[in-house]
Amino acid sequence: MSNKAYSSTQKSYYLPGDPSRTPLTHEEFCDIMRPFWKQRKQLQRAGECNAPARHVCMCDCADCPYRRCGNTIPMETLESIGEEVADSYCMEDDVANRIFEQQIYRCLPQMDTIDRIIIRCMVLHERDVTERQLAALISKAIGQKYSHQAVHKRIPAAAKRLADLMNYPY
């Protein structure tokens, strides 16, 4: 038995859809394909891609048969048939909300502790906080018992105080 040194044959890799079929090393292939693999995995995690592992994905989702999010219709087509395209995001509303929140945050230090807690919970965080939960938060902050009936009476007063500080008519 002779020990023959086998020449290490390197496997050639080719880019999918490349008509010239240029041979690539494993490292070159991985460097080129990594962004495509990353985007494909993001689409799969978002539930928009259902391509099997054997499918070579180049992330051209417009014509992909494995796309899950349904067929898209160009906006020009919708406009040509008279459909109005609704935009769910309104930048003006977002900017107005941010300015409003900044004004509220500037006014909070001028308010007392109870009003600050009410404004933070009811206006800024928009949590579905009940008056009883709000009373518990206030009781914890001020160190004495505070009832939900008192919170119910205090909410309009806190809103009026905030409006006065922000120079808004109430």
Phi-psi region of 47 (alpha: psi -120 to 50; beta: other; left: phi over 0): left
Assign 18 a pLDDT band (cuts: 50, 70, 90).
confident
Is the full-model pTM beyond 0.75? Answer: no
Beta-bridged to residue 116, according to DSSP, are none
pLDDT for position 87: 66
Which residues contact residue 111 at a Cβ distance below 8 angstroms, ignoring those fewer than 6 apart? Answer: 119, 158, 161, 162, 165
pLDDT at 77 over 80: no
Assign 70 a pLDDT band (cuts: 50, 70, 90).
very low
CATH architecture type of domain 91-165: Orthogonal Bundle (1.10)
pLDDT at 33 over 60: yes
pLDDT for position 34: 86
User: Lowest-pLDDT range, 41-45, 98-102, 158-162?
Assistant: 41-45
Q: What residues does each domain of the chain span? A: 26-80, 91-165
Which pLDDT tens digit goes with each residue over 105-123? 888 888 888 888 888 887 7
pLDDT at 157 over 80: yes
